[in-house]
Amino acid sequence: MKIENHPILGKKEEKKKVMIIFEGKTIEAEEGDPVAVALMNAGIRDFRLTRKKGEPRGVYCAIGRCTDCMMTINGRANVRTCITPVEEGMIVERGKLSREGKTK
Ligand code: FES
């Protein structure tokens, strides 16, 4: 999904590979990429569920201005994954709402 060779920016620079844990599953990521990018590269699109209807939300603004990408990272809730860089061993989870929209 990443652009490997951009016509203006050139070739994508190689980054160190690290592992993060998403809800118990190990995902390979590139160090320093936003957590949202690592998750989307792993095919994960639904980052949280809306409080009222339990509808899935994913990356919307990608610049840290909305709240659609918020997840729990290393036990800290409501972290905007689109502006949080990946670090080795991060533990990433969806918010506290279950898929049925009820608080866990
Ligand atoms: S997608 Fe809007 S804050 Fe992350």
The structure's pTM equals: 0.85
Give residue 83 CA to ligand 1 midpoint distance, Å.
8
Mapped onto helix, strand or coil, the DSSP state of residue 35 is: helix
Say which DSSP state 70 is in: E
Q: Candidates 35, 59, 73: which one to mutate for ligand 1, based on the most atoms within 8 Å of Cβ? A: 59
- Residue spans of the domains in the chain: they are 15-93
Token pair in block for residue 5: 């060779």
- What is d(CA 45, CA 86) in angstroms, rounded to the nearest whole number? 17
CATH architecture of 15-93: Roll (3.10)
Q: Of the candidates 48, 13, 46, which has an alpha carbon nearest to the alpha carbon of residue 32?
A: 13
Looking at ligand 1, which atom is closest to the CA of residue 64?
3
Do 46 and 58 touch, CB atoms closer than 8 A? yes
Say which DSSP state 37 is in: H
- What is d(CA 70, CA 76) in angstroms, rounded to the nearest whole number? 11
Say which DSSP state 88 is in: T
**Torsions phi, psi for 100 (to 5 deg):** -85, 0
Looking at ligand 1, which atom is closest to the CA of residue 65?
3
* Nearest alpha carbon, ligand 1 atom 3: 64
Looking at ligand 1, which atom is closest to the CA of residue 58?
1
Give residue 11 CA to ligand 1 midpoint distance, Å.
26
Tens digit of each residue's pLDDT (9 = 90 or more) over 48-69: 988 899 899 999 999 999 999 9
Tens digit of each residue's pLDDT (9 = 90 or more) over 4-37: 999 999 999 899 999 999 999 999 999 999 999 9
